[in-house]
Structure 1
């Protein structure tokens, strides 16, 4: 068998290795035929799945979906689950060689019985739970558990073995990875599928609840007159145990169903809880004495009616060519109907969106106008203040330049005055030296004359010199230059 990583399966002609026999059943894009392996003589079922030829096409199954089914089947080895033997591929089809499950559907088998006790029912439900426990332990959800996918390996023995089949919708559930999808059969799907919410292993448990309800009563808990009504009943969890159908059913059986048909996935029974439920686990508790044989026969009578009705509503098994032709026509019609409904819904939602956007736009526009007006006023105030500051700056620059010029002129005058004072100092010093000499000679002569007259003369000369100097320096004589005569 080819490896999934390369996604290349056995490219040889399947007819070279298997004798293909009569048709066993068909679906929208698949047909199952009995076949016999030439080398061993062992019988198998060959499931021919039509491949989608292009991305634009609506006919056939996408390659990655077939690969997912094969990938999951290759991993499964359990007494209650169908096994995959081989995979072939040609231009138009993928051919899965599967274990031959020839005992028919469980419901058909039970409907043929005269009567059915709860103990017998739980024997089969236990097997369903066992197969689902194996799947869930591998984090695989079947997503299409319904009576027609619960088969018997062989119905000619005392205790037939259950086989879960058709893993076309099965998915691996990865923690933390969002997975939403709308698929399955309306009658059996969980509310989270109807409401397009996060999906997990819990969806299978809901389906087991629906199957058990039908098995014990022959009535379908949520089935309405139309698909929409059925889905609305599921979403609202609108079901009850009608006395007519459940008059002789044990409370334990009802509690088992009630704990599975719970909308909140966190509160719904998990597979291990279901296996441990007293109705399943404890045989003595499962059987309540049923004295009315008629009530038991009524159960199988209703179950018979249910199976006849469900089979009559299913498309008949046609030859491959007819099946393909009808399937294509039906698919095209349903696509057109769905397309028209979607267009109408989209138009309405688009209209609402446009109106909402217009009202938001109008509000925003008014707000922006208001905001821009206040911003414009603030900007004009800022500009006015800026211009004032600019004028002030220029005035200050002018004052600084004037001050610089004044300081330079004062500096120059100061230097000139200092030089003038220096030369005066020198002249004064020379004059003083000359006076000292004169005074020295006068003092010599004064020895012969009276001292008083000399002193008086000195004072007069001193005063005369001070006055002279004072006039010469404009009255601004430096203290260092003051004469001390």
Structure 2
């Protein structure tokens, strides 16, 4: 497995330095971590593309949680997580450092996944821990809610909204102590809230989302406070305030803020606790408690001293955890969340059987992952070859297009040359005809001049020179007349020929 360490320079807000001694090729085991990050949002399922495994750093022997996030290979694909979302999650994790928030140790990348090396949180989910107890006092519940508020307060001071607060994302660092330490995990949906920048989205788990998310209204830090109200309600009663038979019914209950404090569930709950929940489950975000106001609420600050006098002398109120146990079992099962079972013990056995089946499925999934890697490697090779052939095809098509263009150009020039030759031949024929005509005229003129010369010779020959010269007058006249006439004749012929050629 080829592994690339993401340098800090590629991420915003770098906090931790990269440790090159951590080798993903050798150190991670097939042992699952305390809990994988499962997200069931309204519009998309992010959690199906992330899996968490326990790993060990070879150089130190320290154990961590490795969160493998499947990368989206192309924008057209719906498998995997977009790189921008992964970068946002890493950027936020590198900004936070708080006892109640999970810590990012390192980041790695291979061909198919981005791997976040996180603090190992091995105590399991908070609700699972509480469900194992026979009873729960309000003081214990308050201490856990206080830790949640402390973690959220740290995030909100940095203008970071978690947007996915729910029982599955509230973990315990170590459950083997009286008051375990809480850790907030899974920042896949977290966003930094910027002043003056409107942010809208539809995401999260329907049971815990705020009305402004359902209504697609501008979102802010207030959405986390609503989720804390729902978590507190479930923690104290084991019932979900807005959960309906269907997702649509759940969302309708949220937008209508349709809930109540059923006496069956809240008979042992104090009025301060109910008041705390009421002030969080408020539809108008401006009237909802802020994180600072929630930390100052009497129920959070009380530690038991604000109970009625008759309650102070009695034993602390114990909340039954049976319903909370039922709620957690239903949440972890693959069954719809609102199913009721007449025989709950039978359902518990079914859950155990399902867990065994899931263990076998995980082994099959491991083999499937290996095959999937091989298939993806072959697919990558195929894509490279296809890209090469596509490039060669494009070049060949371009060369062929150039050849066709040159051929058409030569063909056009050939056609023009033929037309020029045809025009030249036609012009030469016309010149030849005119030359023939001039030759005929020249011959006629020559004959006429010859006749005139013979007449002139005959006329001059009749005269004799009185001086008795040896050269007679006819010869002298012939010589003297023939030269000018010849010159005149030649000049006339030449001009006529040139004039005809110009035409």
TM-score of Structure 1 vs Structure 2, range by shorter chain: 0.5 to 0.7
Partners of 1:218 and 1:145 in 2: CA distance: 17
Change (3 A) 1:275 1:320: farther
- Match of residue 301, structure 1, among 312, 322, 325: 322
Alignment of 1:328-347 (within 5 A): none
Shift of 1:313: 3.7
Change (3 A) 1:247 1:80: same
Change (3 A) 1:287 1:85: farther
Find the counterpart in structure 1 of residue 31 from structure 2.
22
The unaligned stretches of length 5 or more in structure 1 are 327-485
Find the counterpart in structure 1 of residue 206 from structure 2.
186
Shift of 1:6: 2.6
Matched, 1:136 2:156: yes
Provide, for residues 255-279 of structure 1, a one-character-per-residue CA deviation record: whole Å limited to 9, x for no partner: 0000000000000000000000000
Secondary structure in structure 1 of the residue aligned to 2:321: helix
- Match of residue 199, structure 1, among 193, 210, 219: 219
Matched, 1:319 2:319: no
Shift of 1:292: 10
Provide, for residues 289-348 of structure 1, a one-character-per-residue CA deviation record: whole Å limited to 9, x for no partner: 399999835x2011001111111147976538749989xxxxxxxxxxxxxxxxxxxxxx
Partners of 2:269 and 2:184 in 1: CA distance: 26
Provide, for residues 1-34 of structure 1, a one-character-per-residue CA deviation record: whole Å limited to 9, x for no partner: 6446535989998424634341234431111001
Provide, for residues 229-257 of structure 1, a one-character-per-residue CA deviation record: whole Å limited to 9, x for no partner: 00000000000000110112111000000
Find the counterpart in structure 2 of residue 117 from structure 1.
137
TM-score, length-scaled by structure 1: 0.63
Partners of 1:287 and 1:295 in 2: CA distance: 10
Change (3 A) 1:309 1:126: same
| Structure ID, larger Rg | 1
- Match of residue 45, structure 1, among 54, 62, 65: 65
| Residues 13 and 90, structure 1, Cα contact 8 Å, conserved in 2 | no
Provide, for residues 345-390 of structure 1, a one-character-per-residue CA deviation record: whole Å limited to 9, x for no partner: xxxxxxxxxxxxxxxxxxxxxxxxxxxxxxxxxxxxxxxxxxxxxx
- Match of residue 235, structure 1, among 252, 255, 265: 255
Change (3 A) 1:62 1:152: same
Find the counterpart in structure 1 of residue 482 from structure 2.
none
Shift of 1:285: 4.1
Alignment of 1:250-289 (within 5 A): 250-285=270-305, 287=307, 289=311
Secondary structure in structure 2 of the residue aligned to 1:214: helix
Change (3 A) 1:111 1:13: closer
| Residues 103 and 151, structure 1, Cα contact 8 Å, conserved in 2 | yes
Partners of 2:147 and 2:132 in 1: CA distance: 20
Matched, 1:6 2:10: yes
| Residues 6 and 109, structure 2, Cα contact 8 Å, conserved in 1 | no
TM-score, length-scaled by structure 2: 0.61
| Residues 225 and 289, structure 2, Cα contact 8 Å, conserved in 1 | yes
Change (3 A) 1:54 1:4: farther
- Match of residue 196, structure 2, among 151, 169, 176: 176
Change (3 A) 1:301 1:294: farther
| Residues 21 and 57, structure 2, Cα contact 8 Å, conserved in 1 | no
Partners of 1:247 and 1:74 in 2: CA distance: 44
Secondary structure in structure 1 of the residue aligned to 2:249: helix
Partners of 1:286 and 1:211 in 2: CA distance: 23
| Residues 11 and 90, structure 2, Cα contact 8 Å, conserved in 1 | no
Partners of 1:291 and 1:208 in 2: CA distance: 31
Change (3 A) 1:11 1:281: same
Partners of 2:237 and 2:24 in 1: CA distance: 45
Name whichever of 276-285 and 160-169 sits farther off. 276-285
The unaligned stretches of length 5 or more in structure 2 are 13-17, 37-46, 337-354, 370-503
Find the counterpart in structure 1 of residue 82 from structure 2.
62
Partners of 2:8 and 2:151 in 1: CA distance: 24
